[in-house]
Amino acid sequence: MKSQGNGLRLYAILYLAFLYAPIFLLPIFSFNDGTIIAFPLKGFTTKWFALMAEKGQLHQAVINSLIVAGSTAILATTLAIFAARASTRFEFRGKGAIMAMIMLPLVLPEIIVAMAILVILLQMGVGLGLTTIILGHTLICTPFAIAILSAAFQSLDKSLEEAAYDLGEGKFSTFRLIILPLVLPGIISSLLISFTISMDEFILAAFIGGTSPTLPVYIYSQLRFPKEIPVIMAVATCLVAVSIVLLIIAEYFRRRGVAKTGGKDSGGFL
Amino acid sequence: MSKDAMIHLQDVQKYYGDYHALRGINCDIKAGEFFSLLGPSGCGKTTLLRTIAGFEDITSGVVMIDGKHMEGVPANKRPTNMVFQSYAIFPHLTVEQNVGFGLRRDPRPKAEKDRAVAEALEMVGLKGFGARAAHALSGGQRQRVALARALILKPKVLLLDEPLSALDKKMRENMQVELIRLQRQVGITFILVTHDQEEALVMSDRIAVMFEGEIAQLADPETLYRLPNSRRVADFIGHMNFLPAKVAGEANGEIDVDVQGLGRCHISARQAPGGNRGEEPSVGFRPETLTLLYDGQTATDREATGLIEEVVYYGDMTYYDVKLDGVDAPARLSMRNVPGRPVLDRGAKARVAWSPSALVLFR
């Protein structure tokens, strides 16, 4: 039995190495004093990070991405609050079908969605740009937001609302005083996850972004120039750091939400 | 409608789609009364409570609270407050904030409201718990917070939806006594929903026993126990033995009955409070109305013989299942265990004393 256990452990280690080793290479090369991405390392430098500051296009791309991700997070989360509340609290005709359709983009090949949207936008004569990316990203982020928020609304005891109502509050003040504070961790978690997904989304941004590149699109365009690659590594290192911080914050709020409502942790995205 | 009725229910009907949840409820609940709705799950008792609270609309009928029609009056405008089965303590607020929640729209100055909160907490025995986080409380403490939160608004009626079902036995028994004390202290009408007959008997002034959306019997605990108006109610409240019977005649308020195993006896018409839904007539009696006779003892009234089939020892009590001669099914009788009185063995012959005055006739 012991050897079998060791075999499984080896498998697990290999699996994790395959998953994360490439990501660990990013920071290593971003501090490497050489333009060629290969071992052996040449020496330690921070000049690639310094170079980042001089690239105007890069700055524009980062600003574009922040605008897109911020707007997407707010839009998707707002829409998801309505959907999650409706699906967890009310019974109505066709609820299952409606929820399935809303959640479908989660598994739909993104390239198909991107192509379809592009064709329609061109037919309608809508100018491509940040607005169209925001709409596309909202489409793909909303299912994630609903999944997170449904869990938050689900763990809410219905009698909490009734108790507040019974104690003299109206429907709106009950929502504000009881429901909102209790699902707030879920809302924050949803905002952060949507933000993160939108931030590194490439296909839609490339298809329907027109001449306004987001950060992933910009990075891809720079890969054609070998001398730019170390700078890209530095950018990517920053991105990884930001992503990890955001996800940790999101998970922190999700767990705090579960603890607050006294629910049982059934596991989230992380 | 009686003049002192706090709650007046008249032919209250409630449908959920095709499901007939309340089938014409008529009852008056007096001011200051401790009233219980008792029944098995699905009998409509919680629906009726939520109807009074204003959480459920009724299909037809009249609900009046303190002489006012409640049609179209939402839950937040009714003079009722509720203690929920899950307690519904707001987990993100402190104990104080929970208890004071209903005072948010109260125009009184903050100092006065704080005092009201402190008083409410003291009343339920949670003095000094005000600053605690609500989600860190134990079950019994949550129960008390829920009570304080509902009572601080001085409602005309306090509605309690199975408030003790989540507590363990000891805790439950303590809370029963405390709820009675609290009700006497505040003098508010309490309406309790429960499926636990013992709890209803212990706490209530009057009990409405409900089956399938109807009130089967509405009476004080003793009447309910001694004179149930149907076999179904008798079966639900404690244990009752039934023996097949034939009515031989009736005159001057006395009924002549032939009871299987017990023989011919006279039963007062008062002991035949209701029907039996077309079943064969039977008489019922409670376990404690039969007494085992030991050597040398004789019955003061009537005597029967039988065989002890089962002995269940409870410490303070012993239950015997005795198969009376000429009877198909064993009857349960209970004896208080006192020093010097031995517990009899299974398989022993038994002489049993009984009295026609303890019989209830279902015909």
- DSSP class per residue in A126-149: PPPSHHHHHHHHHHHHHHHHHHHH
Three-class SS state of B239: coil
Domain B287-356: CATH architecture, name and number where available: Beta Barrel (2.40)
* Cβ proximity of B41 and B213 under 8 Å: no
Could you say which DSSP state residue A175 is in? I
Question: In this complex, how many residue pairs, one in chain A and one in chain B, have their CB atoms less than 8 Å apart?
Answer: 57
Three-class SS state of B281: coil
Q: How far apart are CA A186 and CA A260, in angstroms?
A: 11
**Closest alpha carbon within chain A to B151:** A167
Q: What is the pLDDT of residues A173-207, one digit of tens each?
A: 999 999 998 888 889 889 988 998 998 899 999 99
Report yes or no on A77 lying in a domain. Answer: yes
What string of pLDDT tens digits covers the 363 residues of chain B?
566 789 999 999 999 989 999 999 999 999 999 999 999 999 999 999 999 999 999 999 999 999 999 999 999 999 999 999 999 999 889 999 999 999 988 889 999 999 999 999 999 989 989 899 888 888 889 999 999 999 999 999 999 999 988 888 888 898 899 999 999 999 999 999 999 999 999 999 999 999 999 999 999 999 999 999 999 999 999 999 999 999 888 888 889 999 998 889 999 988 988 766 667 889 999 999 999 999 888 888 899 999 999 999 999 999 999 999 989 889 999 999 998 888 999 999 999 999 999 999 998
Contact A163 B85 (CB under 8 A): no
Mutate to test the interface with B, among A93, A167, A177, A178 (most CBs of B within 10 A): A167
Could you say which DSSP state residue B343 is in? P
Total domain count for chain A?
A: 1
Domain that holds residue A150: 56-260
Domain limits, CATH 2.40.50.140, in chain B: 287-356
* Cβ contacts of B82 on chain A, cutoff 8 Å: 162-163, 166
CATH of the domain at A247: 1.10.3720.10
Report yes or no on A144 lying in a domain. Answer: yes
Report yes or no on A47 lying in a domain. Answer: no
Shortest CA gap B108–chain A (Å): 16
Buried b (16+ CB within 10 A) or exposed e, A125-141: eeebebbbbbbbbbbbb
First-to-last C-alpha distance (Å) of chain A = 31
Q: CA-CA distances (angstroms) from residue B69 to A19, A167, B2, B10, B120?
A: 68, 20, 15, 11, 30
Residues 151-170 of A with CB under 8 A from B: 157, 159-160, 162-170
* Cβ proximity of B292 and B320 under 8 Å: yes
Report yes or no on A175 lying in a domain. Answer: yes
Shortest CA gap A263–chain B (Å): 11
* Cβ contacts of A157 on chain B, cutoff 8 Å: 86, 88
Contact B92 A181 (CB under 8 A): yes
B5-226: CATH topology: Rossmann fold (3.40.50)
Report yes or no on A140 lying in a domain. Answer: yes
Domain limits, CATH 3.40.50.300, in chain B: 5-226
Q: How far apart are CA A105 and CA A119, in angstroms?
A: 18
Three-class SS state of B4: coil
**Closest alpha carbon within chain A to B89:** A160
Q: Which of B88, B102, B135 sits opposite A168 (nearest CB)?
A: B102
Shortest CA gap A160–chain B (Å): 5
Report yes or no on A169 lying in a domain. Answer: yes
A260 interfacial to chain B (CB closer than 8 Å)? yes
* Cβ contacts of A261 on chain B, cutoff 8 Å: 91
Residues 176-195 of A with CB under 8 A from B: 178, 181-182
Contact B86 A167 (CB under 8 A): no
Q: What is the pLDDT of residues A146-155, one digit of tens each?
A: 999 998 898 8
Contact B85 A159 (CB under 8 A): yes
Report yes or no on A186 lying in a domain. Answer: yes
Contact B86 A168 (CB under 8 A): no
